[in-house]
A and B are shown apart, each in its own frame.
Chain A
Amino acid sequence: SYELTQPPSVSVSPGQTARITCSGDKLGDKYASWYQQKPGQSPVLVIYQDSKRPSGIPERFSASNSGNTATLTISGTQAMDEADYYCLAWDSSTVLFGGGTKLTVL
């Protein structure tokens, strides 16, 4: 069965760039989206269709998807970005979340 792998945790200093990866076989052939979830809250869509940003999501959030890896990049990370982040892969036969990455801003 298909699997998506995310690092359990990523740490970043305020103002620096955080990169969260999501790996899966030929992931670049599927469409990736990314979700932010803060404690006690519902997930929020931050990226869809590999690299598109919904309205209201800050420009510091960007993403790419190629080969076997999708990457979420947060430039100029702020304390408010501390959260769990989940990737999602979708194609005609797959709808699957990654295991999630806890982003710590310290």
Chain B
Amino acid sequence: QVTLKESGPVLAKPTETLTLTCSVSGFSLSSSRMGVSWIRQPPGKALEWLAHIFSSDEKSYSTSLKNRLTISKDTSKSQVVLTMTNVDPLDTATYYCARTPRVITIRGGFGYFDLWGRGTLVTVSS
């Protein structure tokens, strides 16, 4: 059974660095063409993709947030970590991690989010 579980602080203060951990089970972070993504959702608002990392260690970031985000993985611990610097109340959201298969076709490569964690709500407030 594949599971993903997010963990991190419930509350963060403005300007702090936020560290979120996604612990996975039922699949390996070294599996070919498999990755993990982080997605967030402010209360009552839409989903927003933040970053992903694949088994090859290829990483990609949201253009609007790339200067503040770092994604990494520890295959031996089955964990993917996202850090976000200089947080602001606008970063208040439920943060999800999702398993991300990568598919290669004649049109190029793409991914999608086939299994999601339950999410962790992070509130940024002084």
Q: Is B52 an interface residue (CB 8 A)?
A: yes
Size of A's binding interface in residues, CB under 8 A: 25
A7-33 interface (Cβ within 8 A of B): 29-31, 33
B47 touches A90 (CB 8 A): no
With a CB–CB cut-off of 8 A, which chain A residues contact B96? 42-43
What 1/0 flags go to A26-61 for Cβ under 8 Å of B? Answer: 000111010101000011110011000010000000
B117 touches A90 (CB 8 A): no
Q: Is A95 an interface residue (CB 8 A)?
A: yes
With a CB–CB cut-off of 8 A, which chain B residues contact A42? 96, 116-119
Q: Is A76 an interface residue (CB 8 A)?
A: no
With a CB–CB cut-off of 8 A, which chain A residues contact B19? none
B47 touches A100 (CB 8 A): yes
A97 touches B113 (CB 8 A): no
- B65 smallest CB distance to A (angstroms): 12
With a CB–CB cut-off of 8 A, which chain B residues contact A88? 49, 112-113
Q: Is B26 an interface residue (CB 8 A)?
A: no
* Central interface residue in A43, A54, A90, A98, by most chain B CB within 10 Å: A90
Is chain B's interface secondary structure helix, strand, loop, or mixed overall?
strand
Size of B's binding interface in residues, CB under 8 A: 26
- A20 smallest CB distance to B (angstroms): 14
With a CB–CB cut-off of 8 A, which chain A residues contact B48? 97
- A14 smallest CB distance to B (angstroms): 26
What 1/0 flags go to A77-100 for Cβ under 8 Å of B? Answer: 000000000101011100111111
With a CB–CB cut-off of 8 A, which chain A residues contact B105? 49
Among candidates A31, A54, A95, residue contacting B60 with C-beta atoms closer than 8 Å: A95
Chain B minimum-CB-distance residue to A44: B116
A99 touches B46 (CB 8 A): yes
Question: With A49-B112, A97-B39 given, can you name 14 additional A-B contacts, CB distance below 8 Å?
Answer: A31-B107, A33-B112, A33-B113, A35-B47, A42-B96, A42-B119, A49-B103, A90-B110, A91-B110, A92-B108, A95-B60, A95-B111, A97-B46, A100-B47
**Footprint of A on B, CB under 8 Å?**
37, 39, 46-49, 52, 60, 62-63, 96, 103, 105, 107-119
